[in-house]
Structure 1
Amino acid sequence: MVERQFNTKLKSVQSDWGGEFRTLSTLLSSLGIIHRLSCPHTSEQNGIVERRHRHVVETGLTLLAQSHVPQRFWNFVFDKAVYLINPMPSRANSSKSPFELLFNRSPDYSFLRVFGSQCFPHLRPYNKHKMDFRSTPCTFLGYSPTHHGYRCFDPQTERIYIARHVRFNECHFPFAIPPKHTTHGSPSDPYVSSYPTPIQPPLPQNKPPLIHTYHRRQKSPIAASLAANPNRSPPPKTASTTTGTHSTTQTAT
């Protein structure tokens, strides 16, 4: 692939002595390519690859955290991470992306979409009956390596569609669990009605505010004395009579 696509030849390949690379040693030797190995338990001798691996893992975990996609789709997650890293500008390359350095042209970002978001692929060619729906809610799982299209996962049928004509809802993630709003320990009704809109009464304008004045009734001296000494007997009542211009007071016994 390197010889055909970039018109160059590999001279040497460096790796550790992991099991996934041991089978390549014989093939590389037959092609005249030197297979260089790092010392055992010395990952710093292969620092460039180790840092690249860490970049891929951290980018993939970020995609998982944002989209809430289950870990069983990890292969699609890291495939998407590598796809994003290649056209991403890098400070180590003077703000140029690996894609631009390799192909000498700027990458096209119009094809990128938010991973794990809701999508609606055009499924008319897949339908067996004309009354079937033209689309169904799916989850975007990256790009096809062999097609110029999108991977759309249907959670109802566990099927992955590869389609070019897709509508995206990039603010909604189907695998995300919506938060539960509770009121006094019981789940609230998720249905919210927005029609009709309640009409608010108009506020009074240019009217003086209402002032409520409360007058406290004063207690008589006798009531105040009884409140202070509840065991004390009340004083005798008096009856007043008036005859002409003279008044007399009699004590009730």
Structure 2
Amino acid sequence: MDLCGPMRTQSINGKKYILVMIDEYSRYTWLEFLKNKSDAAELIIEFLKKIQVRLQLPVISLRSDNGTECKNEKLQSYLISVGISHNFSAAYTPQQNGVVERKNRTLVEAARTMLAYSELPMFLCYILNDRDNLGKFDKKADEGYFIGYSLTSKAYRIYNRRTKTIMESINVSFDESSTLTSEHNSSELKLKQKVFIQDRVESEVKQNKSKFCNSNSE
């Protein structure tokens, strides 16, 4: 595991650290977002308890660097009490914790690519405003961006443009005919056409090369 941050741009909820945890065997990765570096110890303990119950498998050991988020009395006392060993990489040698360091770079590059490619969210959502005390002539819907699904209930996660907050709701209507969606689909189609043309050119080159080799052998 490793803690990334603080990020230059914090999230809407004020979180600017990312705790990355990887299973040594499967390379399955979990991410947790934190407001403060000091929250890491409690979060790691909660994660260890949860993951062992869900997988029905014991955690044998942890590997991390020497950062105070992982090397502190609270976390160490818990690990000792449950019999989990803790291995540290040497100071200023991130290569000893290379699995998670490479994953950090992959995650950052993936996030940067998605943001650059999409420019704006794909869908404009209309959310039923069932939380405020509305007057007779107040708008009953807000506009927002679809950003994912709830982890704890059957609901959509929406960024509400009016309140500038992330909310969860099932009362959502998707407008897939908006300009944003059309532009996204258009760019996606161009990308597919480019890949198709490239594949055809490579195929023809291989065929011509094969014919040339056969004629020389004859």
Q: Which has the higher helix share?
A: 2
TM-score (norm 2): 0.49
Q: Which has the higher strand share?
A: 2
Whose radius of gyration is greater, 1 or 2? 1
